[in-house]
Amino acid sequence: MSVIFPKWTNQIPTIAALSAMLAGVCVVGIVWYWFSPKHTDVGYAPKQPIAYSHKLHAGLMGMDCRYCHTAVEVGPHANVPASETCMNCHKGVRIDSPEIQKLTAAHQAGLPVHWDKVHLLPDYAYFNHAAHIRVGVGCKSCHGRVDQMEVVRQVEPLSMGWCLECHRDPAPHLRPEGVAVTDMEWLPTSDSLSAAAARLEAREIRPPEHCSACHR
């Protein structure tokens, strides 16, 4: 007589149970990964077409970030400057340098410099610079010590878990009035922490945690 259910089929319930467990572990793993602040592109620092240095211009020369990133306070996106902005100085400064000659050539041809993007959120996540700058969150909280970088490098993961970590406890990142958001040296003080706590308590500052705030 032929066997309709060969012996190994006795194992099916066990295999099914094991598979279900494995699938469960995978789902937990995927969720944990995406929601973890550590899911990350930290360290990404593409080589740029012109060896522009923030350490020199923003650090040593002390230029304000907003001289070049003019839109950061007023709109969702921080712009990278047009070569016009650079030429304010480099029409005359270091015209012997091959790097400046690349800049001048692009400028004279009316072509943009193709800077590589360093920080990039996926399209489905909404972010607005001005909303953060307005309440006193400094550039350093999200971009690190750009004034010490020869080449810009991503220092924070920009993951959902990272966004939420600050939204749940923003006080250490909130600067009091009078401290520039571009100040790279600022650290929270007990005064700034209590002032921040008061603004949060008064619901003057309300970082959202609901999904539709960032996924619209």
Number of residues lying near ligand HEC (CB under 6 A): 76
Alpha-carbon span 98 to 100, nearest angstrom: 5
Task: Tokens 């993961």: give the residue.
Answer: 157
Exactly one of 37, 42, 48, 179 binds ligand HEC (CB under 6 A); that residue is 48
Dihedral sign from CA coordinates of 108, 109, 112, 116:
negative
Distance set, CA 132 to CA 76, 88, 114, 135, 166 (Å): 10, 29, 27, 6, 11
Tell me whether residue 203 is exposed, middle or buried, using C-beta atoms within 10 angstroms of its C-beta: 0 to 12, 13 to 18, 19 or more: exposed
- Nearer of residues 14 and 212 to ligand HEC, judged by Cβ: 212
Exactly one of 167, 171, 179, 188 binds ligand HEC (CB under 6 A); that residue is 167
Q: Tell me: does residue 86 bind ligand HEC (CB under 6 A).
A: yes
Binding mask 95-134 for ligand HEC (x = CB under 6 A): --x-xx--x-----------x-xxxxxx--xxxxx-xxx-
Q: Which two tokens stand for residue 213?
A: 């705030």
Q: Tell me: does residue 213 bind ligand HEC (CB under 6 A).
A: yes
Exactly one of 143, 155, 175, 192 binds ligand HEC (CB under 6 A); that residue is 143
Q: How far is the CB of 139 from ligand HEC (least distance, A)?
A: 3
